[in-house]
Amino acid sequence: MRDLAGKRIILTGASEGIGRALALELARRRARIALAARDRDRLESLAQECRALGGEAVAVPTDIGNQQDCEWLAQEAVKAFGGLDIVIHNAGITMWSRFDALQDFEIFDTLMRVNYLGPVHLTAHTLPHLKQSAGLIVAVASLAGMTGVPERSGYAASKHAMIGFFDSLRIELAATGVDVTVIAPDFVVSEIHKRAIGANGEPLGDSPMQQSKIMTAPECAAQIARAIERRQRLLLMSTRGKLGRWLKILAPSVIDRIAARAIRDRH
């Protein structure tokens, strides 16, 4: 277990949901956090909450889908803290539509830009600093990065890309002291379901999820913080996530049925 007090952290997608809960969890552990997302006001008020809990925090408005913003985020964090120990790639967006119902395929480009290429570019700008500190990269992916999920084809593809990239990087970085932790949450209460892009290219507006039946963001954040302290390789958060890895090899049609039911039951 490594103490997170004083650790210099970039956290993307910090303004809402899992990222916001994780920022507060890290602040309680007295970490120093560069909070990134697009909405400046929400970041500034979160930075105040983090300071009140004992952490240090700076707000760095960032569109992770923009390469220059990724460079700027890395520069601002290093300027504020003098280096970096941990980069948490958490910002993400999703879709909610069958592929054959989609009216606009632009969502596939956007999903790849935000969920996959953003983390790639931010890694390029932060890796030299992580090598100096033998630091940690944390990729908040999804169970959808490990199996197919209906009505999430573009999201699942972007999360498979993300996991493929970071699993490859882990091997390349083996001799550098930089570790990679992949987080694969199951459903979590957050804004992502309301913001999911539907068949017409617009956000759904309402969450189709039964929020009372899924994990809360603070619970998810506490598990992520523990995985960071342990520099765990992979964090799976649900029984079906853990079983699913074996079922995918031994009985792939069963995992397809579980994924189909998981989506049907949430409608």
Ligand X SMILES: NC(=O)c1ccc[n+]([C@@H]2O[C@H](COP(=O)([O-])OP(=O)(O)OC[C@H]3O[C@@H](n4cnc5c(N)ncnc54)[C@H](OP(=O)(O)O)[C@@H]3O)[C@@H](O)[C@H]2O)c1
Task: Report, as residue numbers or ranges, the catalytic residues.
Answer: 155
Q: Smallest gap, in angstroms, from Cβ of residue 176 to ligand X?
A: 25
The residue assigned the tokens 């969920």 is 115
How many helices and strands (H and E) does the chain possess? 10, 7
Determine the Cα–Cα distance for residues 117 and 114; give it in Å rounded to an integer. Answer: 6
Beta-bridged to residue 178, according to DSSP, are none
Q: Is 65 in the site for ligand X (CB under 6 A)?
A: yes
Q: Smallest gap, in angstroms, from Cβ of residue 244 to ligand X?
A: 13
Q: Is 154 in the site for ligand X (CB under 6 A)?
A: no
Contact region with ligand X (CB under 6 A), list: 51-59, 71-79, 91-99, 227-235: 91-99
One residue of 11, 37, 95, 180 binding ligand X per CB under 6 A = 37
Contact region with ligand X (CB under 6 A), list: 48-56, 86-94, 163-171, 252-260: 86-94
The SS3 of residue 225 is: helix
Task: Indicate the residue among 133 and 243 with the shorter CB distance to ligand X.
Answer: 243
One residue of 57, 111, 157, 188 binding ligand X per CB under 6 A = 188
Residue 115: CB atoms within 10 A of its CB come to: 27
Under a CB-based contact definition with an 8 Å cutoff, are residues 39 and 93 in contact? no
Under a CB-based contact definition with an 8 Å cutoff, are residues 232 and 180 in contact? no
Q: Is 139 in the site for ligand X (CB under 6 A)?
A: no
Binding track, positions 100-119, relative to ligand X; x by CB under 6 A:
--------------x-----
Task: Indicate the residue among 49 and 132 with the shorter CB distance to ligand X.
Answer: 49
One residue of 70, 125, 187, 227 binding ligand X per CB under 6 A = 187
Determine the Cα–Cα distance for residues 172 and 119; give it in Å rounded to an integer. Answer: 17
Backbone phi, psi, residue 260, to 5°: -65, -45
Q: Is 17 in the site for ligand X (CB under 6 A)?
A: yes
Determine the Cα–Cα distance for residues 149 and 254; give it in Å rounded to an integer. Answer: 13
Q: Which value, in Å, is the radius of gyration of the alpha carbons in the chain?
A: 18
Residues that bind ligand X (CB under 6 A): 12-19, 37-39, 62-65, 90-93, 114, 140, 142, 185, 187-188, 190-192, 195
